[in-house]
Amino acid sequence: MAAGTTHHTIVSTQSHRWNCKNSRLDETTTKVGLVSIRSCSSGNRKLGLVCASGSKSSIIDPVQLPSSGNGESSLILIRHGESMWNEKNLFTGCVDVPLTPTGVEEAIEAGKRICNIPIDVIFTSAMIRAQMTAMLAMMQHRRKKVPIITHKESEQAHSWSQIYSEHTRKQSVPVITAWQLNERMYGELQGLNKQETAERFGKEQVHEWRRSYDMPPPNGESLAMCADRAVTYFKDQVVPQLIAGKHVMVAAHANSLRSIIMHLDKLTSQEVISLELSTGIPMLYIFKEGEFLRRGSPAGPSEASVYAYTKNLAQYRQKLDSMVQ
């Protein structure tokens, strides 16, 4: 970048092959278009937001807007907003803590950015911070569908949570929770202050626990172990929804999402350790004609460029606009 340039990001585009060979989708091979944001000061890569917000208006007597059904669908990935332990600089891992007021604001802002993108099904981790983020984001959606957590942990739970109105069901979005999307389990580091831990064990050791691909913290998970469960779940449960034409949002955590992005974008174990995901920032992929195509970054793509990329999203936005009084 030129010396006089004031921008703090460099945008680079890469294309990779993605193969579901180990999943049920043996014959599906896709391309992934990666837009990455690389910090000029640190060299770390940050994947960012899709600027897809519009006017926020209530919808009176909304009609059903169908899924694409033609092999074109959207995938939104969101890391949860700031949690109470993020604020305290503590290792959180699989400890179930809620969002801070800042985290709530981040989730609401994320919802505004994706309020014109169709969402048919939501996957979250079993952690409350991811579920809060998904719910708060959906409250901003112009479609005004109600996110409802599905309960299939027992036959009775499934039976008692049934919806008996077809109209109400159409105005709902199922929310599927899965422990496989949980944050990496940090073992004996959970609850410890990150700065104090670095002073106790040394910065290099703590950095290796946090950022290496295959070195777990004491009695915890490595990123490789986290990736094994998160990517397997993504291939088995999420990808079939997209192939069926459903528009999907996944609200999860830094490491489970890093694992999924590593898989989609074919990042190496060295590339993924420098991948940073900001809290509350939505990332959009378009699944179209068997390909995953990345759209949007903090570098400033306009809303028009996002919708121009796929006819279905443009038509969906037009339908939303026509429903607003």
The residues annotated as belonging to the active site are 80, 183
C-alpha distances in angstroms, 159 versus 61, 124, 164, 165? 29, 21, 11, 15
Tokens of 293: 């195509």
Task: Give the C-alpha separation, 259 to 228, whole Å.
Answer: 8
- Specify burial of residue 315 (Cβ count, 10 A radius: 0-12, 13-18, 19+): middle
Sign of dihedral through CA atoms 83, 87, 88, 92? positive
In this structure, the number of other CB atoms found within 10 A of the CB of residue 130 comes to: 30
Q: Residue written as tokens 């969906």?
A: 316
The answer to whether the CB of 214 falls within 8 A of the CB of 269 is yes
Task: Give the C-alpha separation, 129 to 279, whole Å.
Answer: 11
* Helix residue ranges, H only, 139-253: 155-160, 166-170, 194-201, 203-211, 223-233, 239-243
